[in-house]
Structure 1
Amino acid sequence: MEMNIGTVTRIETDHLDRFKYCFMALGASIAGWKYCRPVIVVDGTYLNGHYGGTLFTACTQDANSNIFILAFGIGDNENDKSWRCFLEMLKRAYGSRDKLCIVSDRHNRIRNAIEFVYLEAMHGICWYHLLKNLKTQYAKSGHNVTHAFNSAVRAYTVDEFEYQMQQLDSINEEIRGYLLDVGYEKWSRLHMPTNRYSTMTSNIVKSVNAVTKAAKNYPIRALLESLRQTIQSWFCKNRDDAHGTFTKLATKHEKLLMEMSNDVRNLKVSPANHTLFEVRDNSSSYMMDITLHICSYKMFQVDQLPCSHALAVIATLKLNVYDFCSVYYIRDAYLNTYKESIFPVGNKSEWNLLEDVSNRVVLAPDQKRSSGRPTEKRKKSAYEKSQFVKCGRCGESGHNRRTCRNMVLLNQNDRKLK
């Protein structure tokens, strides 16, 4: 906290001074958060150290859609108390924001903690975990639910969404009821009352977990230092990238805007009144209100980036296209996100500790990791079902073709010439 001004940390112990929880949010991350889109992705992963435990992670995305780490926490396991403690400290460090969306998997403990701590935020779930359940329960007939469900998740209009839901109905009529029980607003960006900015999965946290995989074997003090080094390294890399950006938008969104502009030449614009325009192509037409930033196809207002229809109207009126882009995509936001620096903590012998810190006793936790080799697979939430696996070689269940060890008679007609 002395080396990185504005950093928020916390250590919580039980009545016997044994370690329970800790939290770390670096001051530079807190300062950069207001320039990132108001979407937080949270998840937990197991620790492999002597005492086990869980590493909690919260992150978002910057103007160039890079992963921006907000905070780390450590607790005993993914229970209500540990998740609530982590989210309470996250809110204390970062506060809340208008139209905030928190994305996670369907873990009951995360949902309970979000509903308790972030009453004003919307909770969205990762569609990939939901898809896995659909494939487990309803794809046994041989039909592929992935394309239809993925299209329904990313649909911009009611008609498009309903068409994809009808495709799912043709596979299994029970799918619609299952997804309705989950709540369309939890996984469909069309029905989400707040903007998820196309953050439809929790993959960015999974990526952080993959990078910090080796550190999960470290003692807690070494683990926290390794996590700080990771954030510092990413800050330096992205700051250099931001200073090397010379377009109005960050590189990725500038490229998307250029791709959209390639379709403008095939569109025809007709004014309905001084603010409302009809944009037509060879097969369809859409209404565009340029003053309200509204397009009937809804891509414009969902992505916060002018679609080809909006670009056609903007070009007709000779307006500045960048005035219609989200402030979370511009180069200035990218630069300001990494304006502050992250510093190493230095040699312990040179630390100037406060008396209440140096005199505090923190003993080892009252738990140890279970005996045996630690699992390398992530723990599934209660909603995730085990996927049915059937071997394509011998036809038996419980394994796949790659791991099959059964003797199979070769049929002359099934042999393939190489």
Structure 2
Amino acid sequence: MSIYALAKYFYVLKYANPGTITDIKTELDKEGKTRFKYAFMSLKACIDGWKHLRKVLVVDGTHMFGKYKGVLLSASGQDADYRAFPIAFAVVDSENSDSWKWFFERCAAIFAAKDRWYPRAHHGICLEHLKRNVGEKYKGLQHNDMVPSAGEAFKVAEFEKLYELIKLTDWRCWNYLEKIDRKLWTHSHFEGKRYNLMTSNIAESLNHALLPARDSPIVALMEFIRRMLTRWFESRRCKIKYHVKDTWSETVKGIILPVPNPEDIHIPADILKLQLFPPMTKRTKGRPDIKTKLSAGEVPEGPRKKKKANKCSRCYKEGHKKTTCREPVP
């Protein structure tokens, strides 16, 4: 199933799960055709459950590997058992101001979005990504331990002590951190409560779980997400039933039902008549790279392979090649 069936899929999804929020943004091309631009989905069970999570929202975007270029945006929280709890998803053309604005405006129906709808909310950045960026820019020193230690310090006095140590160790690193508002990356200066969520690891875990479907057409991707969340909710309900306090049950109380066959229900004529065409932007030719692209400073898993030295085919010595060989040949 492709973009052509997206509107029909969203209708039957909401038919089976009343209260689910979906939206599609389109644009007209030069020929007057209606082309896909953005899509949004948030299941009713997730909407009901987010109220019982820690009051920290992690938003992230990950690239898709299908025929057309695109990015999957997500908003997730963390439940009382420290597990990722997805709330909303969107497929957009790229990560830019317009797509993020559209995503948060759709989320406003679920939770009050930053600044405009929720003025008491505070923005923070991932400490792990900051650590990697510093490690990549200023190698050979102890920044990998010093920066996160300063960021996780609870008291201002403790932070100032560690921050001064960073300055004495490498002034360049300290100057780089000075350009970043301390409220964004430190526990001690954050204006709200971060509930010990200093990284976006829950979003990274969610992206990894969605990896098998990130090369699928959009309808197949949305259905993969629905089925995955159905399994997660059922598994967590079973754990709560036998091992955890009943007060946690409200988080996964909602039931996610499968979508019915569109032929078995009445679908409005305006949805059936909608001709939705794929976006104009296509992925470049060649096999897509489905491996996760590492962030700056991120270390790949497993041992690194040693790079073999060049071996000259003329003198058979290492360290150069035939075109630059100056060794005498007997």
Would the TM-score normalized by the shorter structure come out above 0.5?
yes
Q: Quick one: which of 180, 183, 187 aligns to 1:182? A: 180
Cα 1:387–1:29 shift into 2, 3 Å: closer
Residue aligned with 1:372, SS: coil
Shift of 1:232: 1.1
Shift of 1:180: 2.4
- Aligned position for 1:277: none
Structure 1 position 406 matched with structure 2 position 309: yes
Cα 1:163–1:208 shift into 2, 3 Å: same
Q: Quick one: which of 366, 371, 376 aligns to 2:290? A: 376
Residues 10-409 of structure 1: matches in 2 within 5 Å?
10-15=23-28, 16-92=33-109, 94-96=110-112, 120-139=120-139, 142-247=140-245, 331-332=246-247, 334-376=248-290, 402-406=305-309
Question: What's the Cα RMSD here?
Answer: 2.6
Shift of 1:379: 6.1
CA deviations 1:282-326 (Å, max 9, x no partner) are xxxxxxxxxxxxxxxxxxxxxxxxxxxxxxxxxxxxxxxxxxxxx
Q: Which runs of 5+ in 2 are unaligned?
A: 1-13, 312-316, 318-330
Q: Is the 8 A contact 1:5 1:27 kept in 2?
A: yes
Residue aligned with 2:162, SS: helix
- 1:201 and 1:24 map into 2 onto residues whose CA distance is 25
Paired residues, number: 293
Q: Is the 8 A contact 2:35 2:278 kept in 1?
A: yes
Residue aligned with 2:207, SS: helix
- 1:149 and 1:359 map into 2 onto residues whose CA distance is 56
Residue aligned with 2:124, SS: strand
- 1:72 and 1:221 map into 2 onto residues whose CA distance is 13
- 1:89 and 1:33 map into 2 onto residues whose CA distance is 15
Shift of 1:83: 1.4
Q: Is the 8 A contact 2:236 2:252 kept in 1?
A: yes
- 2:233 and 2:155 map into 1 onto residues whose CA distance is 38
- 1:246 and 1:335 map into 2 onto residues whose CA distance is 9
Q: Is the 8 A contact 2:25 2:39 kept in 1?
A: yes
- Aligned position for 1:8: 21
- 1:234 and 1:246 map into 2 onto residues whose CA distance is 16
- 1:119 and 1:80 map into 2 onto residues whose CA distance is 19
- 2:270 and 2:120 map into 1 onto residues whose CA distance is 35
Shift of 1:375: 2.8
Q: Is the 8 A contact 1:125 1:187 kept in 2?
A: yes
- 1:52 and 1:227 map into 2 onto residues whose CA distance is 19
User: Which one is further off, 150-159 or 166-175?
Assistant: 166-175
Shift of 1:240: 1.3
Shift of 1:171: 2.1
- Aligned position for 1:264: none
Aligned amino acid, residue 125 of structure 1: I
Q: Is the 8 A contact 1:127 1:201 kept in 2?
A: yes
- 2:196 and 2:261 map into 1 onto residues whose CA distance is 43
Cα 1:377–1:234 shift into 2, 3 Å: same
Q: Is the 8 A contact 2:132 2:144 kept in 1?
A: no
Shift of 1:175: 2.4
CA deviations 1:349-381 (Å, max 9, x no partner) are 22332333222221111121111222335568x
TM-score normalised per structure 2 = 0.82
TM-score normalised per structure 1 = 0.65
- 1:352 and 1:189 map into 2 onto residues whose CA distance is 53
- 2:204 and 2:179 map into 1 onto residues whose CA distance is 26
- 2:291 and 2:163 map into 1 onto residues whose CA distance is 32
- 1:388 and 1:69 map into 2 onto residues whose CA distance is 25
- 2:34 and 2:274 map into 1 onto residues whose CA distance is 9
Residue aligned with 1:217, SS: coil
Query: Which consecutive segments of 4 or more residues in structure 1 shift more than 4 A?
Result: 114-120, 377-380, 386-389
Residue aligned with 2:179, SS: helix
Aligned amino acid, residue 355 of structure 1: A
Cα 1:130–1:339 shift into 2, 3 Å: same
Residue aligned with 2:134, SS: helix
- Aligned position for 2:327: none
- 2:135 and 2:202 map into 1 onto residues whose CA distance is 23
